[in-house]
């Protein structure tokens, strides 16, 4: 990874403050109701862990995984489920937690995939969105930060499996 340059984009403090606000907004929206919070693995795991601790209503946790990217920077455009939910979401309030919305294909696919199971509601949250990269309209209810159309890592997001452990978000560029 020595030929890569990381340029910090969003600090740990900014992330933590924003995640607390999103948690408070979700709490307000669902006060007194139960939630199923669905994390989309692997990239959302850090956002997910912080977000659920900022939500103050009864909730259960579940996870799914989709493959949309190969191991690099360019989207394959294909989405398929590689890990599905472990319990029924029928008549439940579901929140989908994503790390980043890039083309929008994954989030829109997930909404369609979950809707088949007839939940009471589907709410979407993404830590990051790249508005200039959207290939289709994609409404996200709770967005952490809008970012430029650059590849980013950290706070759960990887490049070839690395950098997920950074507590902040950084742009990554090749210096060769």
Active-site residue 102, yes or no? yes
- Scan residues 127-156 and list those touching ligand 5GP (CB under 6 A): 151-153
- Scan residues 155-174 and list those touching ligand 5GP (CB under 6 A): 157-159
Residue 102, token pair as written in the block: 């890039």
- HSE-up (13 A, CA, CB side) for residue 158: 14
Pick the catalytic residue from 102, 132, 139, 158. Answer: 102
Q: Supply the DSSP string of 6-31, one letter for each residue.
A: EEEEE-HHHHHHHHHHHHHHHHHHTT
Is 93:120 a contact under the CB 8 Å cutoff?
yes
Minimum distance, C-beta of residue 90 to ligand 5GP, in the bound complex (Å): 26
Name the strands in the sheet holding 121-129, side by side, starting at the edge strand that comes first in the sequence.
75-83, 59-69, 35-41, 93-101, 121-129, 142-146
Q: Supply the DSSP string of 49-100, one letter for each residue.
A: HHHHHT--S-EEEEEEEEEEE-SSSSEEEEEEEEE--SS--TTSEEEEEEEE
- Residue with Cβ nearer ligand 5GP (30 or 99): 99
From candidates 93, 106, 123, 124, binder to ligand 5GP by CB under 6 A: 106
- Residue with Cβ nearer ligand 5GP (45 or 57): 45
Under rule CB under 6 A, residue 50 binds ligand 5GP: no
Minimum distance, C-beta of residue 56 to ligand 5GP, in the bound complex (Å): 27
- Residue with Cβ nearer ligand 5GP (55 or 99): 99
Nearest partner of 127 among 18, 25, 29, judged by Cα: 18
Convert residues 63-82 into a mask of x (bound to ligand 5GP by CB under 6 A) and - (unbound): -----xx-----x-------
Under DSSP, the state recorded for 138 is -
- Scan residues 86-105 and list those touching ligand 5GP (CB under 6 A): 98-105
User: What residues make contact with ligand 5GP under the rule CB under 6 A?
Assistant: 43, 68-69, 75, 98-107, 151-153, 157-159
Which of the residues are catalytic?
A: 102
């Amino acid at each position: 990874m020595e030929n890569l340059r990381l340029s910090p984009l969003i600090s740990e403090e900014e992330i933590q403050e924003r995640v607390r606000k999103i948690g408070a907004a979700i709490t307000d929206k669902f006060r007194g109701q139960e939630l199923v919070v669905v994390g989309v693995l692997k990239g959302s795991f850090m956002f997910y862990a912080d977000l659920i601790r900022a939500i103050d209503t009864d909730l259960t946790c579940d996870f799914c995984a989709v493959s949309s990217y190969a191991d690099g920077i360019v989207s394959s455009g294909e989405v398929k489920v590689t890990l599905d939910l472990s319990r029924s979401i029928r008549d439940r309030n579901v929140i989908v937690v994503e790390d980043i919305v890039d083309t929008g294909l994954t989030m829109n696919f997930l909404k369609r995939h979950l809707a088949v199971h007839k939940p009471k509601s589907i709410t979407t949250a993404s830590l990051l969105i790249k508005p200039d990269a959207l290939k289709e309209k994609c409404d996200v209810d709770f967005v952490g930060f809008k970012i430029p159309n650059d590849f980013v890592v950290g706070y759960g997001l990887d490049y070839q499996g690395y950098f997920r452990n950074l507590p902040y978000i950084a742009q990554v560029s090749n210096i060769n």
